[in-house]
Amino acid sequence: MKEYDIIVIGAGAGTKLVTPPSLLGKRVAVFEKESPGGTCLNRGCIPSKMIIYPSELIRITEDTDKFPVHFKERPIADVDKIFRRVNETVKQDSDSIPIAYDKNPNIDFYPKQVRFVDNRVLSDGNETYTAKHIFVVTGTRPSIPEIPGLKTIPFWTSREALSPDQFPKSLLIIGAGFISLELGAAYQAYGCKVTGLTRTEILRTADGDIKKELSNHLPFSIESHYQIDKVEYTNGEFKVIGKTKEGKETIHTAERLLVATGIRPNTDDLGLEKTNIKTNDVGYILVNDHLETTEPGIYAFGDVIGRYFFRHSANFEGEYLYDHLYVSKTNAPIKYPPMPEAVFTHPQIASIGFTEEDLIRKNIPYYKGINPYSSSATGMARMSNSGFVKVLVSVETEEVLGAHIIGEEAANLLHQIVLGMYLKAKLDDYLGMIYIHPAISEITRNAFRKVREEKLKRIKK
């Protein structure tokens, strides 16, 4: 049996526990059955944004007549070249990871599947491995719904949509979450006719005002509350057969079909049944406040524990474990700061904290301020006809409970509120600072002014 100080299963966010402890003299083994870099580098954040950004350049030209600025022709993207650049860049970055590990005498990289055969004992089928600390960082993969006919046809998941063999003229998307909205918007901008179908709401867990604004400015056609009865594939054409929310039977057709209905944890092939490691009903690994599983010495973090599904949250967890186990060596539990998120669709969406519906359900008193982009100097300059900043402030503490933005630069605009929430800033702090005029951040200031107005109205009553 090969013995190490650390074993990491998964070379995505798991890399946070590879090089840093190796520089402290720890002997580290890292196992990865697919391309190093994980979902974010190979099948998620990075390639999708490399595809989305050029599509935004096209979007900019779609609403310029109002200025007036005219283009003789609609911009045409060399889609093949865009996707080729994505694939080449991602491969280059992924390939560089094991090369760097090979140069480090304290790291052994194993490009293979590994499974538990006992508590704290792993096997690749030939050799066995153990370590003082084992980290399970295996992430998630697309969850495929039980739809009649689906399993026998060549549908896409996000993996194939990020690296298509040929760019389609038309695309059907089942699902209306992050992946659907991001890739669908990009494909539509590049000239593909995109149609979305979802059995629930669009962006189901978002704040209600965000969903309403998005529904008025969708980047492509999406039919919600749609019941899918079956799918077919004949002569190079996909068919989705189902019923509208009114009960009318319809058939949608396209060259390609993308299924983006959710994710499931990569825990079913780890041999966890041979250990004391427990999972919840859908397979996410249970961990305590120190990210330790129900088997001492084995930890898990990232998507596989089902808390948050962002690379930035997985990085935060990995950095906590590195400090907790090897640097400060304190016994402090992990304490998450406010967790932001964004959907890089068109219009862009960014959120943090509670939605208004959360606060109503939890019976938490709040002030609300909503300011449209148009109600600002920058909005006037841009002639904005959509988008807003919404802030929810505690009546009791006057700290921000949640913030939701839809519109240009939403992900960047959110960060001043992210910092404010982290520092427990109060309403007067946001109103007391000076904002550059006429920067887009004045939209946020105006939202806080709306909160102040609501507060004063209540006091007068």
For residue 78, being part of any structural domain is answered with yes
| Strand duo 2-9 + 128-136: pairing | parallel
Is 49 a known ligand-binding residue?
A: yes
The whole-angstrom separation of Cα 407 and Cα 268 is 40
For residue 257, being part of any structural domain is answered with yes
For residue 352, being part of any structural domain is answered with yes
For residue 341, being part of any structural domain is answered with no
For residue 340, being part of any structural domain is answered with no
The two tokens of residue 294 are: 């129900």
Residue 73 in this model has a pLDDT that exceeds 90? no
Is 178 a known ligand-binding residue?
A: yes
Domain final residue, candidates 243, 261, 279: 261
Is 224 a known ligand-binding residue?
A: no
CB 292 within 8 A of CB 299: yes
How many residues are recorded in the chain? 461
Please compute the mean of the pLDDT values over residues 129-141 and round it to a whole number: 97
Helices vs strands, H then E, count in the chain:
14, 21
For residue 332, being part of any structural domain is answered with no
Q: What separation in angstroms does the CA of 15 have from each of 5, 88, 257, 378?
A: 15, 22, 34, 41
pLDDT at 62: 86
CB atoms within 10 A of CB 1: 9
Please compute the mean of the pLDDT values over residues 372-397 and round it to a whole number: 95
pLDDT at 317: 97
The two tokens of residue 400 are: 């921000």
| Residue 19 sits in the same domain as residue 108 | yes
- Of the candidates 321, 188, 182, 168, the one whose C-alpha atom is nearest the C-alpha of residue 237 is 168
Specify burial of residue 346 (Cβ count, 10 A radius: 0-12, 13-18, 19+): buried
Residue 413 in this model has a pLDDT that exceeds 90? yes
Q: What is the mean pLDDT of the chain?
A: 96
| Residue 254 sits in the same domain as residue 317 | no
Which amino acid would we find at residue 20?
Answer: P
| Residue 408 sits in the same domain as residue 429 | yes
**Residue 341, Cα to own-chain centre: how many angstroms?**
7
Give tens-digit pLDDT for 115-124.
999 999 999 9
Give tens-digit pLDDT for 198-224.
999 999 999 999 999 999 999 999 999
pLDDT at 101: 96
| Residue 125 sits in the same domain as residue 7 | yes
**430 vs 64, more confident:** 430
Residue 460 in this model has a pLDDT that exceeds 90? no
| Strand duo 221-223 + 237-243: pairing | unpaired
| Residue 69 sits in the same domain as residue 81 | yes
Is 262 a known ligand-binding residue?
A: yes
CATH code assigned at 357: 3.30.390.30
Please compute the mean of the pLDDT values over residues 165-184 and round it to a whole number: 97
pLDDT at 82: 96
| Residue 383 sits in the same domain as residue 320 | no
Give tens-digit pLDDT for 417-457.
999 999 999 999 999 999 999 999 999 999 999 999 999 99
Tally of structural domains, the chain: 3
| Residue 119 sits in the same domain as residue 167 | no
Residue 65 in this model has a pLDDT that exceeds 90? no
pLDDT at 71: 85
Q: What separation in angstroms does the CA of 35 have from each of 8, 92, 277, 389, 440?
A: 15, 11, 26, 39, 40
The whole-angstrom separation of Cα 346 and Cα 54 is 13
Domain final residue, candidates 230, 261, 292: 261
**Mind giving me the DSSP string for 286-307?**
P--TTSB-SSTTEEE-GGGGSS
pLDDT at 70: 86
- Of the candidates 90, 131, 140, the one whose C-alpha atom is nearest the C-alpha of residue 107 is 131
pLDDT at 41: 87
The whole-angstrom separation of Cα 36 and Cα 48 is 17
| Residue 236 sits in the same domain as residue 316 | no
The whole-angstrom separation of Cα 257 and Cα 161 is 9
**Is 290 among the residues known to form the active site?**
no
| Residue 155 sits in the same domain as residue 237 | yes
The whole-angstrom separation of Cα 33 and Cα 4 is 19
Q: What separation in angstroms does the CA of 353 have from each of 81, 143, 420?
A: 39, 26, 12
| Residue 7 sits in the same domain as residue 129 | yes
CB 449 within 8 A of CB 375: no
For residue 229, being part of any structural domain is answered with yes
Which member of 312, 324, 415, 437 is catalytic? 437
The whole-angstrom separation of Cα 30 and Cα 112 is 10
CATH code assigned at 157: 3.50.50.60
CB 137 within 8 A of CB 49: no
Residues of the domain holding 161: 150-261
Domain final residue, candidates 327, 357, 379: 327
Q: What is the dihedral of CA 18, 20, 24, 25, to 10 degrees?
A: 20
| Residue 225 sits in the same domain as residue 317 | no
Q: Which helix (H) or strand (E) holds 199?
A: none
**Mind giving me the DSSP string for 79-142?**
HHHHHHHHHHHHHHHHHHHHHHHHT-TTEEEE-S--EEEETTEEE-SS-EEEEEEEEE---EEE
Q: pLDDT band at 330, cuts 50/70/90?
A: confident
Residue 461 in this model has a pLDDT that exceeds 80? no
The whole-angstrom separation of Cα 334 and Cα 307 is 12
Is 182 a known ligand-binding residue?
A: yes
| Residue 194 sits in the same domain as residue 101 | no
Please compute the mean of the pLDDT values over residues 317-338 and round it to a whole number: 96
Q: What is the dihedral of CA 77, 81, 82, 86, to 10 degrees?
A: 180
Give tens-digit pLDDT for 258-305.
999 999 999 999 999 999 999 999 999 999 999 999 999 999 999 999
The two tokens of residue 194 are: 């995109």
The whole-angstrom separation of Cα 427 and Cα 397 is 9
Percent of residues, the chain, with pLDDT higher than 70: 100
For residue 448, being part of any structural domain is answered with yes
